[in-house]
Structure 1
Amino acid sequence: MRSLYLRPPVAGRRARIRVPGDKSISHRAFLFAALASGRTHIIGPNHGLDVLATVRALRALGVNVRRMQLGFSVIGSGFCDPRRVIDCGNSGTTMRLLAGALAGRVDAQLDGDASLRRRPMSRVTTPLALMGARMESRAGYPPLRIFRGRDPLRPIRYKIPVASAQVATALLIAAIGARGPSTFVQTATTRDHTQRLLLAMGAKLRCSGRTLRIWPSQLRAVAKLRVPGDVSAAVYLLCAAAALPGTQLVVRDVGVNPTRTAALEVLRRMGAPLRLVRRRMWTNEPVADLQITGGAALRNVAVPGRLVPNLIDEIPALCALATIARGTLCVRQAAELRVKESDRIETTVRLLRAFGADARALDDGIVVHGGNKLRAPRSVRTSGDHRIGFAAAILAAASHSCITIRDSECMATSFPGFVRIWREAF
């Protein structure tokens, strides 16, 4: 297992950096380009292990995916039966989205690592079965076996019981090939990258609040599909900068889709001087530069439940920053954290306590009492969860300490080049 050593950060630095392409958009860009007619150039996608798992899977399915100087070229040609089991690695997004894309279209088996085998897939396979897809799983967990169907999938009306953009995406791309229009009702508003990209690629889709109605469609290739920087990655750097007095950080070209900026809203509520400048649009997605200055007096807040689905990936970062703010940070309605790469409620609380912070786990969330005098341990473990590794880096910055992060290879899942960018910033 690999270890990562981070030296104590230098407060008061000024830096302008970029983060890797948005992971959520990158997965969708590759998959939708494979389903589209024509050639799509994907510029600036995420090169992390999760997205590369999607690229490898598409190649195994016969899709022409080629690396180019600024990104990738994808020629949509449909799928063929793979000659071997498709390895999704640690990527739940890869497995769930492929389940929808492949349902009824091919004979295939999807598998992954030990962590992925513990993540629930019935939230996808159950509604796909209602559409007529034949699938087998291990009591709702990977591996998944998908069978080719003789007829197109049936259109359905379905209320999605969990707040999950992955589930909505899997069902929408399955419904594109159904024999009539389907309607899906979400229980909460989730990230809408799928809807934006499907519309940009010519899908017949109507969005009305939480209700999504889609008709059978043939997607069209996008000549240049530019992926903005990952706002989740940016938030971890912004939180570290907020903890360092005098630090001025600009993160350039970040996606600021309104369904992804809940963490930025919480940072502002905590008193962080955060600004969004140079707003523009890239392939139906809003983009901006994010500016923050460290050292402001921060105060903790109760995170509204309505925001939780749209900051689920940033909760460890906010909890790490909360340790040095005044008052109490309370996050509820976040039980989804328990079925991430780790039980992220338990691993986050364990990490905070390792630094001497006052934190406790709830059934569906986390409570952090701020104003702590942090003491960095010599080393911490990620439990195989990249978000825990990034949160450890924030805590090290907040305690002005060096840290060794053990089993750190998982951090390349979403943030390739993390060490280089961290050192540029701090």
Structure 2
Amino acid sequence: MTVSEVKTVQFNKPVIKGSIKVPGDKSISHRAIMLGSIATGKTSVKGFLEGEDCLRTIDIFKQLGVSIERNGTDVLIDSPGIHNWKTPDVELYAGNSGTTARLLLGILSGSRVKSVVTGDDSLSKRPMKRVTGPLQLMGASISGAGEGDFLPLTIKGGALKGIDYEMPVASAQVKSAILFAGLNADGLTSVKESAVSRDHTERMFKLFGATIQQEGNVVSLHGGQNLKGTNVVVPGDISSAAFFMAAAAMIKGSSIEFVDVGLNPTRIGIIKVLERMGATVEILEKYGENEEPYGTIRVSNSHLRGIVIEGDIIPTLIDELPIIALLATQCEGVTVIKDAEELRVKETDRIAAVTDELTKLGAQIESTEDGMIITGPTPLKGANLKSYGDHRLGMMAAIAALITEGSVQIENPSCIAISYPNFFEQLSDLIKKDED
């Protein structure tokens, strides 16, 4: 490892204050490009996340013959529609993006092209059978290692039939892949979840003109629907904001205002957890834009207490659990995280990784099969932390440096650019505001 791959972070326990606008929502940015490419005509996307994962999605649809022009966070898509895509002459490389790969499998299954989807070493180890299994039940032609469980996978688009599928685990990626395939399947496609996961796909389908039914935990749509290009505004990513929300909640005298951040009801689990822990959370303004609510939130420090986090709330904050674990080290009492087995199949095994890295800092934390148990409050000390190439763990390590005695060294901090390219700049600005 070279020196350039390690970042030393030391803040001497500052107060952080200010107002920020976090980058565009990663999940919505992916889906805007995908649906804009499936639809016929022009689609304008504003607030697009310029992170590595989302840029991979753009590159892939360009290879399929879609015209996509990007000017910073503004993107213009001009597509002939999914049935007029060209067969790519190269493999479709998803990099480290599980969202890109899994949703793409559903999209390509209902297209008329043959293609190969690949990923980096990390993504190639992540399970795909949870997606390819139901797609094959629909008639999709997917082949690859481990009977379709690992990338690279070859997809030959063709005729599909709708299915009635009950998901064993709530997952927005799996649900979305099935719904994308259902757009071009014969008959009705219905997906039932044990708990409602993030619903960006359903909301955006409606925006592009699709008819979709939602009743409780069941989502259904008829195949053969033709989508038309439209305008999409991407709000700030609440999963990215969560890292600074946690910092404001646990650092005495701190307060941060988040402008135009997404407030989708299936994503605000972090707000509910902060409120239950005792943090001061205020929603100052709330708006509706293109099916996705957003607004301005202020989070301020207060005395925090440990809680139990389990059940239906888990799918609404699965990406925020690493920073919640750090936050729990500063809460009075015990915090228990349950029902989060999905963390074991993210960019890395986040349960094991979070436990190992916070232990290095001196946290009282133990892993369980489906979560973690954290006892606090505990003073933390600096240490050399691994990011595992996982942007959420890299940001957790940086926020930890705000409260440690001594510096934190972060291995491979560049992975943070996957979802938050200007993370360290905004962190620095929040500290400077208190010094001005």
Q: Fold conserved (TM > 0.5)?
A: yes
Distance across 2 between alignment mates of 1:12 and 1:230: 23
User: In structure 2, which of residues 18, 21, 25 is the aligned counterpart of residue 18 of structure 1?
Assistant: 21
Which residue in the other structure is 1:373 paired with? Answer: 379
Answer whether contact 1:236 1:394 (CA < 8 A) is retained.
yes
The 1:80–1:290 alpha-carbon spacing in structure 2 relative to 1, beyond 3 Å, is: same
Which residue in the other structure is 2:232 paired with? Answer: 225
Distance across 2 between alignment mates of 1:69 and 1:166: 26
State the 4+ residue runs in structure 1 displaced beyond 4 angstroms.
Answer: none
The answer to whether residue 276 in structure 2 is matched with residue 284 in structure 1 is no
User: In structure 2, which of residues 390, 400, 419 is the aligned counterpart of residue 385 of structure 1?
Assistant: 390
The answer to whether residue 352 in structure 2 is matched with residue 349 in structure 1 is no
Post-superposition CA distance 1:279-305 (Å, at most 9, x none):
0012111101110122x1110101132
> What is the Cα deviation at residue 336 of structure 1?
0.8
Distance across 1 between alignment mates of 2:187 and 2:196: 25
Which residue in the other structure is 2:54 paired with? Answer: 51
Q: Any unmatched runs of 5+ in structure 2? A: 432-436
Answer whether contact 1:104 1:134 (CA < 8 A) is retained.
no
The 1:5–1:305 alpha-carbon spacing in structure 2 relative to 1, beyond 3 Å, is: same
Which residue in the other structure is 1:272 paired with? Answer: 279
> What is the Cα deviation at residue 104 of structure 1?
4.1
User: In structure 2, which of residues 397, 417, 429 is the aligned counterpart of residue 424 of structure 1?
Assistant: 429
Structure 1 residue identity aligned to 2:235: P
The answer to whether residue 342 in structure 2 is matched with residue 336 in structure 1 is yes
Post-superposition CA distance 1:203-224 (Å, at most 9, x none):
01111111111012111211x3
Distance across 1 between alignment mates of 2:141 and 2:21: 43
Post-superposition CA distance 1:254-289 (Å, at most 9, x none):
001010001110011000001111100121111011
Answer whether contact 1:95 1:110 (CA < 8 A) is retained.
yes
Aligned positions of 1:3-402 closer than 5 A: 3-8=6-11, 11-68=14-71, 70-77=73-80, 78=82, 79-105=85-111, 106-139=113-146, 140-149=149-158, 152-216=159-223, 217-222=225-230, 224-294=231-301, 296-377=302-383, 379-399=384-404, 401-402=406-407
Post-superposition CA distance 1:297-342 (Å, at most 9, x none):
1101011322111111000101101111100110011111111111
Answer whether contact 2:50 2:72 (CA < 8 A) is retained.
no
Distance across 1 between alignment mates of 2:360 and 2:166: 41
Answer whether contact 2:264 2:292 (CA < 8 A) is retained.
yes
Distance across 1 between alignment mates of 2:6 and 2:48: 26
Answer whether contact 1:329 1:368 (CA < 8 A) is retained.
yes
Larger CA deviation: 22-31 vs 300-309: 300-309
Q: Any unmatched runs of 5+ in structure 1? A: none
Which residue in the other structure is 2:434 paired with? Answer: none
> What is the Cα deviation at residue 187 of structure 1?
2.0
Answer whether contact 2:380 2:405 (CA < 8 A) is retained.
no
Answer whether contact 2:10 2:402 (CA < 8 A) is retained.
no
Distance across 2 between alignment mates of 1:86 and 1:182: 26
Structure 2 residue identity aligned to 1:320: L
Counterpart secondary structure, 1:397:
coil
Distance across 1 between alignment mates of 2:73 and 2:329: 40
> What is the Cα deviation at residue 425 of structure 1?
1.7
TM-score (norm 2): 0.94
Counterpart secondary structure, 1:313:
helix
> What is the Cα deviation at residue 396 of structure 1?
1.4
Answer whether contact 1:11 1:246 (CA < 8 A) is retained.
no
Post-superposition CA distance 1:20-46 (Å, at most 9, x none):
100001110100000112111100111
Answer whether contact 2:261 2:294 (CA < 8 A) is retained.
yes
Structure 2 residue identity aligned to 1:82: P
Identity across aligned pairs (percent)? 37
Distance across 2 between alignment mates of 1:250 and 1:102: 41
Structure 2 residue identity aligned to 1:210: N
Larger CA deviation: 354-363 vs 240-249: 240-249
Which residue in the other structure is 1:410 paired with? Answer: 415
Answer whether contact 1:346 1:361 (CA < 8 A) is retained.
yes
TM-score (norm 1): 0.96
Larger CA deviation: 27-36 vs 73-82: 73-82
Structure 1 residue identity aligned to 2:222: W
Larger CA deviation: 4-13 vs 189-198: 4-13
Distance across 2 between alignment mates of 1:5 and 1:193: 36
Distance across 2 between alignment mates of 1:315 and 1:179: 39
Answer whether contact 1:104 1:146 (CA < 8 A) is retained.
no
Structure 1 residue identity aligned to 2:335: L
Larger CA deviation: 300-309 vs 106-115: 300-309
Counterpart secondary structure, 2:286:
strand
Post-superposition CA distance 1:348-406 (Å, at most 9, x none):
001111110100010111111111121112x2111111111111122211226432211
Structure 2 residue identity aligned to 1:330: V
Aligned residues: 421
> What is the Cα deviation at residue 148 of structure 1?
3.1
The 1:285–1:401 alpha-carbon spacing in structure 2 relative to 1, beyond 3 Å, is: farther
